[in-house]
Structure 1
Amino acid sequence: MILMKFTFQLFVKIVIDSVFIRLNSYDFFMIVSKELLEKIKLHHSVDFKKFIENEYFNFYVYTKKMEFSFFTFDNHHILASLQTKNGEFDNKHILCSTKDSLKWGKELFEYCLKDSVLVSEL
């Protein structure tokens, strides 16, 4: 497990780079909070519209209160952004890629998916 610290702008760049490298080879899943979805709509809609058009990019918004800002899951890693104790965006992230963490990530994704809605347009 790696604990990282970076800005929202860098997060978007990492997602863009990761998605473009990995799309068309395997599925990429992302669940975001309602608050983060609003930020994406305001500041990064052009990039995310491209993602949404790709059949391998699966983009969801969590409909309940979420204790993290986003969660991504694919065949090789999970990446999560936790929130501060006050529920605000934190620039610390957790990146995991072990077999056990991928199993846990899949379970977490399936749990969160029950209360998520597919984002098909911005």
Structure 2
Amino acid sequence: MKAELLGTLFLSEKRKNLLLLLKEGEKDIDEIKRALNVNTSAIMTQINILMSQGLIVYQNNEYGLSSMGGVIVKKMQPLLETLNLYEDNRLYWENHKIEALPCHLLNRIEELGSCEFVEPDLDRMYDLPKRFEENLEKSKYIHEVSSYFSPAYSGLYKRLVEKGIEISLILTETVFERLKNEYQSDLAFYLGSGYVNLYVCTEKIELASGVVTDRFLALSLFYNTGIYHNHTMMSFESSAINWGKDLFSYYLDISRKISQDDF
């Protein structure tokens, strides 16, 4: 019975779509047919299977989820969303250190939604990906957590600050020391601008970079080998932006703020 129920839920796209549709509320047969673009014969076969499993009930000429059906579908949706996220960019998730993400956020990774893999053109391999840079320039604020030195720190970010865009950076001690020792004028500009908040994380940052703005989330992970390649996964969905805000808040809680008095 257990294997049969799992097959019912995951082997049929029609049954999955029907269950997710009924999660929105009860529907009569005509509403179901219109929503799923199916004929009566095809959908009734799926309805009867789900009714035999106790997941759907029929009353007052409408079909709806049973009490247990509602519980199962509620838990099924995050799993389906996670599987979709994985399948859309399977090679990326397979080959990168996904365990670098904080555990509580890794458990919510389905919130990233639809992602796109973005990397620089071949003639700009050491620059920021063009799509990433273009959207940074359109953002109202930028919050970043990073364990590597980004080329944006000594170029693009300075221009954005001059345009009045608020930037908050959480860096590792190593990256901060490089900024302090090799880019003193840039650091002085940032701290004196009134638009930059700079923090040093007191614990290890395992991911390469996480950037969240009012427009998008960009997430960069190291390869399983430890190598970093100049690329990012971008999502423009509101759930991904909220996820990114939580990522930034997590590291902010374990970071100390840098001020001009520290020099």
TM-score, L = length of structure 1:
0.71
Structure 2 portions without partners, runs of 5+: 1-115, 129-149
Change (3 A) 1:77 1:60: farther
Residue 33 of structure 1 is matched in structure 2 by: 172
Residue 12 of structure 1 is matched in structure 2 by: 151
TM-aligned CA deviation for residue 114 of structure 1: 0.3
Of 38-47 and 10-19, deviating more is 10-19
Change (3 A) 1:84 1:35: farther
The equivalences for 1:18-97 within 5 A come to 18-23=157-162, 25-85=164-224, 90-94=228-232, 96=234
Q: How far apart are the structure 1 equivalents of 2:233 and 2:187?
A: 21
Aligned residues: 120
TM-score, L = length of structure 2:
0.38
Q: How far apart are the structure 1 equivalents of 2:225 and 2:178?
A: 18
1:71, 1:78 within 8 Å by CA — same for their partners in 2? Answer: yes
Structure 1 portions without partners, runs of 5+: none
Out of 241, 244, 256, the residue aligned to residue 102 of structure 1 is 241
Q: How far apart are the structure 2 equivalents of 1:86 and 1:48?
A: 32
Change (3 A) 1:15 1:46: closer
1:4, 1:94 within 8 Å by CA — same for their partners in 2? Answer: yes
TM-aligned CA deviation for residue 49 of structure 1: 1.7
The RMSD of aligned alpha carbons is 3.0
Q: How far apart are the structure 2 equivalents of 1:53 and 1:18?
A: 14
- Taking only the aligned residue pairs, the percentage that are identical comes to 22
TM-aligned CA deviation for residue 112 of structure 1: 0.7
Out of 114, 118, 121, the residue aligned to residue 257 of structure 2 is 118
TM-aligned CA deviation for residue 48 of structure 1: 2.0
